[in-house]
Amino acid sequence: MKRLNFLLFAVISTLLFSCGSYSEGELSEFDQEIEKYMKSNKIDCEKSGSGLYYKIIEEGEGDFIQFTDKVLVKYRGTLLGGEKVDEQTEPIEMAVSAQINAWKELMLQLKKGSKAYMIVPPHLGYGDYTVDKIPPNSILVFELEIVDVM
């Protein structure tokens, strides 16, 4: 029950606080771009209520990750066009609560050993900010592996 309450809180918070700067038309354009990308690359993902596209490739084992957990994770991030923006081939420790909304949302569905793929619309990523190699309003693609949960 505690997990369900938190997931509900996370989804509502995401919808209230992160969509504010985007119109329904802009969100629809992001969806269309993502769906076109998935179709042309033959990618099958689920879409969450917040607009995150994801696929859990390996379920993992043990308990689900909690918002207050720290995890060891390996990942690769690209722009929708394929340009690499970040990669961590060796496990790196990170707090779940300190991640972008898309990562927080997906991590709560993962366990130790899970592998997942996600396509992140801007309102769940970095929004209209430039971050390192990521231009404003970028759709991001991440592959991640949860190596350990602490």
Average pLDDT over residues 89-99: 98
- Whole-angstrom CA distances from 124 to 5, 21, 58, 63, 112 are 20, 12, 23, 25, 23
User: Rounded distance, CA 146 to CA 73, Å?
Assistant: 5
User: Rounded distance, CA 93 to CA 71, Å?
Assistant: 6
pLDDT in tens, 30-80: 999 999 999 999 999 999 999 999 999 999 999 999 999 999 999 999 999
Q: Indicate whether 7 pLDDT > 80.
A: no
What is the model's pLDDT at position 3? 55
What is the model's pLDDT at position 80? 97
Q: Indicate whether 18 pLDDT > 60.
A: no
Percent of the chain with pLDDT over 90: 86
Close Cβ partners of 87 (under 8 Å, ≥ 6 residues apart): 75, 76, 77
Quote the mean pLDDT of the chain. 91
How many degrees, rounded to 5, is the angle at CA 102 between CA 96 and CA 104?
Answer: 20
> Residue 138 burial by CB count (10 A; 0-12/13-18/19+): exposed, middle or buried?
buried
Q: Indicate whether 10 pLDDT > 60.
A: no
Residue type at position 38: M
Write b or e for each residue in 104-133: b if 16 or more Cβ atoms lie within 10 A of its Cβ, otherwise e: bbbbbbbbbebbbbbbbbbbbbbbeeeeee
What is the model's pLDDT at position 20? 54
Q: Indicate whether 14 pLDDT > 80.
A: no
Domain over 2-149 is classified CATH 3.40.1640.10: no
Q: Indicate whether 19 pLDDT > 90.
A: no
Q: Kindly indicate the confidence band of residue 21, based on its pLDDT and cuts at 50, 70 and 90.
A: confident
Evaluate whether 115 touches 55 at the Cβ level (below 8 Å). Answer: no
